[in-house]
Chains A and B, each alone.
Chain A
């Protein structure tokens, strides 16, 4: 966590640059005294250890001396041992209380023991100086030159006192003393060096402690920063609409789910586990969602993938979500987020509805015109028939009067002339030749209106949720009838509708798609040759297990730069107000997304465009399933 470059200068240099560092200190430790504290603690440890050793040795020695004194029953030895024990007691107590001067007492006590043994046990006289030197060496463990000095003085003093009391060879004495002094000198040097080492160690320890403190502080600071960052990220993640999650493929366990999921599904955050979430996937979407997810986890869907499904919140509220998942190659964690697209779906639905309304609205004008024409001549014909019937009834009345007159014998020539005048007035030959055709025309006109009204039914079930078996050719025929007004002034229509199986779909959706394409075709023809009529050819055929609908025009074609965009929503090459750019986008969404078909086109600029709709014809599969 902490870069070593930060630490190295403190390890290898005497001067620790404190400037620039935050001056937050470890509680209770002041930097200037840190080294002293370290030294003190090291010395104290050394003293404690050495005290324990020395005290044990001295205690054993004095115990031996006491046993020895009792065995030889020398009263002086017993007295010396008693005195020695008392001194030892005092020395022990003071040492254990860490009284600084006490160890000098210890040193003297130890040497007193050596002297005692040397003096009072003549057989051990020769070993006396050696014992003294051993004691000196032991005391050197304290690494205190002063203690060695005290012990040396004690040895020298004892030898001198001994030499004064007992006649001694002065040469041997000098020899002995010289050895003691030299050894003492060596021990003093060793002690000083040891003390210096100890000071150095203390300094190192102090430095190390300081560096450790800095490192710890830095680690703490970085940890805090990281925690803050994590907290910030968490806040960001948990304040968005997207519900982030992480899933471990190996453990088969959700490692994280953002708490918004609870809001999304109206549940408790504790409920957000894999099994619970799976049960909340809409029953109709569950198999598909699982398949998509598993295929993604197995790497069949690339490094990232998204799919839509429905979730069930409480009270049967349905939430549309789009799942985005991604996984790094080799990683066992799938990360992703889930977006509530319910509103989006609603808008999409509204948009489709409004596009449908727009199409239908535009159609309404055309349909009105289409209906107006037959209504006009039906009305005229009926009016003509009414007038003609009146005229004929007049004529019939006149002729009936003549007939009666003939039978009565009262008929006058004037009556016959009047009848003949009426025949001429009402133009009987015209009526005779035109009445039957007028009636036929009226009947035809009514039939034309009826056909248009029947065709409108294709578009009249926008909310029908279930797909039904649709006769594609009939749907196309109806659509073309309604759209007639859109193309009849610019193009001739050629249809080649072959026999097809029924296809499961919504006739209205399909009609809308065909309508959008036919309207585009009419516009393309109008744009290409304003004075010449073009041709729109609509054909259907069965191609393997697909139904193919082609709509070809002899219009202007689609320019190169527009070809990649024609299915984009809101893309249009038409003048403002002429097209919303939704027709082909929705056509594609209907054909591809809803029915699993394809919508493609071939175009040659200046020669025309052919749109090709292919729909899977699945009656056999469905029959087999049923």
Chain B
């Protein structure tokens, strides 16, 4: 299990998370995927575990994507940060490695994660 790449998905909409979980289920043998509902849960996750890639939404209540990535950058700088968002992310650009506009196809997301994993290895 430890050989699996660890990926964290963060969104405040459970529908998004379930969709991602379903569509990426095929990768379960290669990736260990964790799904966090909202910024606070995500923060708890990244403090408890190490992740290779974090894919997060931008606009979330209380702790948004920018705040999360800011923290992540300070606390786990080796983690690759992908923003999956439909809104303006100008303010957080420095903390984002890859920006994927919502809506984004599963193939695009998969490809972005693959590239991130290649870089982070």
Contact = CB atoms under 8 A, between A and B. Distances in A.
B22 A438 contact: yes
B5 interface: no
Interface size class of B (residues with CB under 8 A): 20 to 34
Interface stretch (B43-51, B56-64, B71-79, B91-99): B56-64
A369 B25 CA distance: 25
A379 B104 CA distance: 8
Contact of A369 (B61, B64, B87, B105): B87
A383 B105 contact: yes
Contact of B86 (A372, A380, A437): A372
Contacts of B28: 427
B18 interface: yes
Given A373-B86, A379-B105, A441-B15, A384 B25 contact: yes
Which DSSP category, helix, strand, loop or mixed, fits chain B's interface? loop
Contacts of A384: 19, 22-23, 25, 106
A430 interface: yes
A377 B86 contact: no
B47 to A, nearest CB: 19
B61 A533 contact: yes
Nearest to A488: B61
A376 B19 contact: yes
Interface string A340-383: 00000000000000000000000001001100111111111101
Contacts of B25: 384, 427, 430, 434
Contact of A380 (B23, B59, B60, B88): B23
A256 interface: no
B13 interface: yes
Contacts of A531: 62
B112 interface: no
Which DSSP category, helix, strand, loop or mixed, fits chain A's interface? helix
Interface string A416-459: 00000000000100100010011001001100000000000000
A485 B54 CA distance: 24
Contacts of B16: 373, 376-377, 380
Contacts of A387: 23, 26
A430 B18 CA distance: 12
B37 interface: no
Interface string A477-491: 000000001001110
Given A372-B86, A372-B102, A376-B102, A490 B18 contact: no
Residue from the set A373, A437, A438, A444 with the largest chain B CB neighbour count within 10 Å? A373
A287 B87 CA distance: 53
A489 B86 contact: no
B67 to A, nearest CB: 10
B112 to A, nearest CB: 14
B83 to A, nearest CB: 13
Given A489-B60, A490-B61, A380 B106 contact: yes
Nearest to B26: A387
Contact of A374 (B15, B59, B61): B15
Nearest to B63: A531
Given A379-B105, A488-B61, A489-B59, A373 B13 contact: yes
B18 A441 contact: yes
B117 interface: no
A394 to B, nearest CB: 13
Contacts of B106: 379-380, 383-384
A379 B103 contact: yes
Contacts of A372: 86, 102-103
Contacts of A427: 25, 28
Residue from the set B13, B64, B87, B103 with the largest chain A CB neighbour count within 10 Å? B103
Residue from the set B25, B26, B86, B106 with the largest chain A CB neighbour count within 10 Å? B86
B86 A381 contact: no
Contacts of A374: 15
A477 to B, nearest CB: 21
Interface in A468-514: 485, 488-490
B19 A437 contact: no
B116 to A, nearest CB: 19
Contacts of A437: 18
Residue from the set B16, B22, B61, B104 with the largest chain A CB neighbour count within 10 Å? B22
Residue from the set A368, A379, A437 with the largest chain B CB neighbour count within 10 Å? A379
B15 A373 contact: yes
Contacts of B102: 369, 372-373, 375-376
11 contacts: A372-B86, A375-B103, A376-B102, A376-B103, A379-B103, A380-B20, A380-B106, A384-B106, A441-B15, A441-B19, A489-B59
Given A380-B23, A438-B18, 20 more contacts: A365-B88, A369-B87, A372-B102, A374-B15, A376-B103, A377-B13, A380-B22, A381-B19, A381-B22, A383-B23, A383-B105, A384-B23, A387-B26, A427-B28, A434-B22, A488-B61, A489-B64, A531-B62, A533-B61, A533-B62
Interface of B: 13, 15-16, 18-20, 22-23, 25-26, 28, 59-62, 64, 86-88, 102-106
* 3 closest cross-chain pairs (CB), A and B: A380-B19, A372-B86, A377-B19
Interface of A: 365, 368-369, 372-381, 383-384, 387, 427, 430, 434, 437-438, 441, 444-445, 485, 488-490, 531, 533
